[in-house]
Amino acid sequence: MAEIKLPKPFGSVINRYYSTSKYIIVEAFVDSYEYNLTNGTKCLRDWLSLNGDDTCCDCYCVVQLDNGQKEGILLEDKNIKKCRNREVSDGIRQMTFTHNKIKEKNESYPLNWAFLTNAKFQQPLKAKTLSGRRSKVLCNEMKNHPVKIRNSEIEVFIV
Amino acid sequence: MALYVKFQSQHNSEIDYNRFKSALKFLDKLFKILRCEEREVYLFVGDSSDDSDEKRSFDMGILESHFRSGIKKLKDRSGILGFVLEGKLIVDKKKFPFVFELRPRVLCGKERFDIRAEILPNKYAQIFEDLIKFKSDLKSLIAQRVKEFNKERSGNENVIKRVILSKHGDEYNNIASWDFLYTSDVTYFLSKIIDFSKELSDRLSFGNRLKFSNNILQNDNFAFLLSRYSQQFNVALASGSLSVIPQDQEAMNKFIESISKDLEVVASKVYKKENETINLIDETLSTLT
């Protein structure tokens, strides 16, 4: 089976997160409106039966760890060159929507983590992170799945 | 970018409830321009991503009592209560995921905005401003509804102080990147132009901004200047309160640049630069000692 490669910057995000363990990406879906379907990736919108009206996040992938465990990850990039709406809250909403659609499919796809990169912080959230507190941002429907926010602009990585 | 609304602050005991009612009334005005389906609302405390309230369908009566009980529960801390409405806007037979947020009062200080309205990206659009592609008169309709809102306001509702279409984070500084402005206080428009121009900010660092702005606004020649530039750069102006409706962002940029250049000329005749003023103070004091 050919190796699946995620589009930038998602490959490096996953690499960084699983840097201490061996893993392979077994399945990956990307939003075809924003990314080309290459390197073994499939169309997220077709898979979730979404039409042009709907919003969704950029990528969903399933990672298999060396102990055989599978983890599902949602990814959304708010790169300044690509996105004009870069709000953290809107990124979380897009991921929540995708999360709900995956749940609706009722297949045994895992959902463990959600990463949001290069998003623009709202003032209260920015103040909260800059004060040096470790904080978790949780989605509405993803109570047990912390959203990790990596923001190159203000150099924070919240866990 | 998003649509931001700021209310005039009120000083009475029902302040949070009044903000809530005003936000819903504005929402109603917005829905007269843009039809919205599948509306769901939830309250949140502090941060819209940290909500724990369940989503409920948009029923005004139930929502009102729910919000009231939220205020009662929080007592003195009710300023941290806000709400989010999620729905689907229908414009030109296309649907757009829509988010309307009333931010907590404690986070809406002097410059921050009470309401943020935005769409989520889909095949047709990325940001609220993209809706103009499908409804070309959107900006002027919003200006019209805002004026209606302020006219119909009852005693216990907040008046709308300003409305802008702008990039989040840039809304306080760079007026040239705004796509729409309504303000009930016209001096706000000039104070933002002063912020935009380094030369003006520098010269006015020792001057009185408000006095300068008021005098400029009272001058008939400035009105002629505004009118000339608005025609030249395709920017519609509505007087009384001020609505600036540029055809596109480039038009706004050129419009603001031209006004600020003319104001720089005026300021250069009236005020010295900051360095010159400091040197003058220093020189004058040294002759006295």
How do residues B95-109 score in pLDDT, each as one tens digit? 999 999 998 888 776
Are B157 and B199 found together in one domain? no
Query: Is A24 within a domain?
Result: yes
Give the ranges where A4-136 is alpha helix by DSSP (H): 10-17, 44-47, 88-105, 123-130
Q: In terms of pLDDT, which residue wins out, A124 or B184?
A: B184
DSSP single-letter state for residue A9: T
> Is-above-0.90 flag for pTM?
no
Residue A113 lies in a domain: yes
* Structural domain that includes position A107: 10-158
Average pLDDT, chain A: 75
Residue B239 lies in a domain: yes
Residue B48 has what pLDDT? 72
> Last residue of some domain: B130, B149, B166?
B166
The verdict on B121 touching A (C-beta cutoff 8 Å) is: yes
More confident residue, A45 or B240: A45
CB-nearest partner of B118 from A52, A90, A123: A90
CB pairs under 8 A between A and B: 74
- The string of pLDDT tens digits covering residues B106-155 is 877 666 789 999 999 999 999 999 999 999 999 999 999 998 998 887 77
Cβ contacts of A122 on chain B, cutoff 8 Å = 47, 168
Question: Residue A59: is its pLDDT beyond 50?
Answer: yes
* Domain carrying residue B253: 175-277
Q: List Cα–Cα distances, B205 to B273, B275, B277, in angstroms.
A: 8, 10, 10
The residue that leads in pLDDT, A1 or A153, is A1
Task: Identify the residue among A46, A87, A99, A141 best suited for mutation to test binding to B, counting B beta carbons within 10 A and taking the highest.
Answer: A87
pLDDT of residue B49: 63
Q: State how far Cα A1 lies from the chain centre.
A: 24
- Of B166, B191, B218, at which residue does a domain stop? B166
Q: Say if A4 falls within a structural domain.
A: no
How many CB atoms within 10 Å of residue A43? 15
Residues B156 and B182 in one domain: no
Both B158 and B200 in one domain: the answer is: no
SS3 B181: strand
Does ipTM come in above 0.95?
A: no
- Distance, in Å, from the CA atom of B27 to the CA atom of B117, rounded to the nearest integer, reads 9
pLDDT for the residue numbered B256:
92
Which H/E stretch holds residue A65? strand A59-65
A2: in domain: no
Asked if B18 and B159 sit in the same domain, the reply is yes
User: What are the tens digits of pLDDT across the range B246-274?
Assistant: 988 889 989 999 999 999 999 999 888 88
Residues in chain A: 159
Test the A interface: residue of B38, B47, B52, B170 with most A CBs within 10 Å: B47
Task: Report how many domains make up chain A.
Answer: 1
**For testing the chain B interface, which of A80, A84, A85 should be mutated: the one with the most B CBs within 10 Å?**
A85
Residues B123 and B264 in one domain: no
Q: Which residue has the tokens 């104001």?
A: B263
Nearest-CA residue of chain A relative to B99?
A90
Residue B89: pLDDT band (50, 70, 90) is: very high
The C-alpha atoms of residue A102 and residue A114 are separated, in whole angstroms, by 13
DSSP states of A117-134 as a string? ESPBPPHHHHHHHHTT--
Name the token pair of A157: 């990585």
Same domain, B105 and B236: no
Instruction: State residue B88's pLDDT score.
Output: 94
B5 has pLDDT over 80: yes
Q: Is the pLDDT of residue B3 over 60?
A: yes
Q: Reply yes or no on whether the pLDDT at A138 is more than 70.
A: no
Please report which confidence band the pLDDT of residue B240 belongs to, taking 50, 70 and 90 as the band edges: low
Residue-averaged pLDDT of chain B: 86
Q: Do residues B281 and B252 make contact, with C-beta atoms less than 8 angstroms apart?
A: no
Q: Of A51, A55, A137, which is closest to B121 when you measure between CB atoms?
A: A55
Residues B194 and B114 in one domain: no
Residue A144 has pLDDT above 60, yes or no: no
Q: How confident is the model at residue A64, as a pLDDT?
A: 93
Q: B171-205 in b/e burial notation, b at 16+ Cβ within 10 A?
A: beebbbbbbbbbbbebbbbbbbbbbbbebbebbbe
Average pLDDT (B21-27) is 91
Other CB atoms within 10 Å distance of the CB of residue A77: 24
Inter-chain touch A93–B99, beta carbons under 8 Å: yes
Nearest Cα to A57, choosing from B86, B122, B116?
Answer: B122
**CB-based contact B203:B268 (threshold 8 Å):** yes
| A102-126 residues labelled b (16+ CB within 10 A) or e (exposed) | beeeeeeeebbbbbbbbbbbbebbb
Q: Give the A window 97-126 contacts with B, CB below 8 Å.
A: 97, 120, 122-125
Residue A113 is predicted with a pLDDT of 78
Of the residues B121, B143, B166, the one at which a domain ends: B166
Give the one of A52, A94, A122 whose C-beta lies nearest to B120's C-beta. A94
Query: Is the pLDDT higher at A98 or at B107?
Result: A98
Within 28-87 of A, beta carbons closer than 8 Å to B belong to 33, 51-55, 83-87
pLDDT tens column, B161-184: 999 888 665 556 688 888 899 998
Same-domain status, B180 and B157: no
Q: B127 and chain A: CB distance < 8 Å anywhere? A: yes
pLDDT of residue A142: 42
pLDDT over 90 percentage in chain A: 21
Residue B183 CB-half CA count within 13 A: 17
Indicate if B184 and B85 belong to the same structural domain: no
